[in-house]
Structure 1
Amino acid sequence: MNAIAKKLAILLGVLAFASSCTATPNSSTETQRSPKVTQVTDSTKVTTIKIDGSSTVYPITQAIAKDYQADPKNQVQVAVNISGTSGGFEKFCNGETDISNASRPILKAEMEACKKNGVAYMEFPIAFDALTVAVNPQNDWAKDITVAELKKIWEPSAQGKITRWNQVRASWPNRPINLYGAGKKSGTFDYFTEATVGETRASRNDYTASEDDEVLVDGISKDPNALGYFGYAYYEKYQDKLKALAIDNGKGAVLPSTQTVEKVQYQPLARPLFIYVNLRDNQNKGLVNKFVEFYIDKAPITASAVGYIPLPNDSKHLNYVHLYQGKVGTVFEGKAEMNLTIGELLRKEGQF
């Protein structure tokens, strides 16, 4: 079977799958069609696919980009940078990047910015994260923490007041508590504040902040009095230098893991991860779509390899359908959803 026939066979298969998922579209989405994924005709041309955004999603995208560029047939450079989810969307909606890594759905203000600048986007969920609260391994007193205690630590009124461990839990020692967390351009900051404090972007400011999770890991690993939060892949990578705390949402303390996310036990800190693709009509479109096709195929294996929770094959099929049909918009309403499960995400995607 030649390459064109294979492509048609794949397309017919995923479109058949899509027909079984048909439902009334979400009111927050808009749909338009685009041509099928095209092949690059000029093999001598080298261009750059620009990607920016979330440090949480970065390990997945960086690994896939490396694999893609290792094939000499792919005459393209893939530049992957970190500026946080919010920082990435600023560039993306200005038309400066082709793909935006995101650890939360696109917000209403960002949707408006994209619309104003004529940037139509496709949304692809690519993995699940178990947002991790961690301390230094020398910390021998804290093994778990409640959502209420996280609120007590991180709410704006705690600034300058909750500064010692025994103020959080009386049985903990009278030692300073040094905080490390996501910077304000990070989607992790948005999600964590809503999940723990109850209001997006409501946080104390007297902590070491960074959009780069590597910086947070480094700080916590060197500070016996530290407590911080970041994406699960960074805990997996550096678990010899960190200690994860079990999260108690009132139903018992649960450690972050693939199993606790899949069993809907690690709440409210389990969350989906995304890439957003600029559906631009220019000479790079075929190159970008070809890379996205490769990304969708490799995402489950790569997500698992770097420490995240892969989505089931149904998600891959739906992503292919949305790519081939040029589905534009979001299945969310400009905000993150707390306690979203993998099954609920798939149902939303199937209705898109």
Structure 2
Amino acid sequence: MLTRWSEPFLQVTDVTYQYDHMKSFSLAKQSFTLEKGKLLVILGPSGSGKSTLLQLIAGLLRPNQGTIIMGGKPIHQLPPEKRNLSMIFQKPYLLPFLTVGANVEIGLKLKGVPSSERRVKSEEILHQVGLTGFYQRPLSSLSGGQEQRVALARSLVIEPQLMLLDEPFSQLDPLLRRQMGHWLGDMKRKWEIPMIMVTHDREEALTLGDQFLILRDGVAQQSGTLENIYYEPANRWMADFMGIDNVVDGIKRGTRVTTFLGDLEVHPHCVNVPDGPVHIVLRSEWLQMDSASSIEATIESSAFRGEYTEVRAHVNGESVVIKQLGFSNYERGTKTGVRLTTSNVWCLPKEVM
């Protein structure tokens, strides 16, 4: 029976890693906590250190310094098999000459669990992952998504305290990847096993994650909740990485900032940003067409993206991106109005680009 801990279940403190002299990459100090039933997403471009950090937690690499505490016990010096965790990779790495059930039972067999008990546990976990009746199936009969579910069942059946996922759906087609993401979200809520997931896919990350850690070149750029990283980027790079289309110039004075949209209120968390030139961060969905608005926009282009229309417009000397839900068709040169749908704006100290 899984229970909640009154303190963070996993505590990673000042963990660093330096590869040998042939590799210039190093992972700077990383610290975070994770509670039972939560999923931490480690996000970042290729070569940012995501998989390195995951391997340090798994025990596949040893940190140069720092501590990893799981369930109140230090594990950073333990070998992988002593850490009571499971790791799922991009490929399921199933044994093709074994049936589904035999693949699921591998961990139990290594633990010395009797065969009759292994089968009961395996069939129960296959039911939990939506593969009821698959125990005797050959692997050749499975789809890619079903193979990953078998890999998940194999990981869950040993009752790990922590699950690590290294881009588990990257080999799947987009539709199946989305379906597996929804299924993993349901499983997370049902099982309450803490999880850490590495992914390149920003949509997948934002859909599944409870906590986020964004890395760049081995250095943490920002950590926190979905609201933090989506609406409150820590720097200009984070704003670009999180897909914020409009980063424009402004002049901050106290709690107000002068922009191409007029004089606006500064977000309360940005009040301590030094006065003077700043970057104003505007998500494209915060700008909306409004013919009644006194702020004039000239349409430069529009393109339907499947769920929304991306409109590029010229507004008081700034070229901005506006997302309109659904299909819209705007001709180049059309004049219209535009309004801001938020009561305040996020701003950052202006960086020299």
TM more than 0.5: no
TM-score computed with the length of structure 1 as normaliser:
0.22
Q: Which structure has the bigger radius of gyration?
A: 2
- The structure where strand makes up a greater share of residues is 2
- The structure where helix makes up a greater share of residues is 1
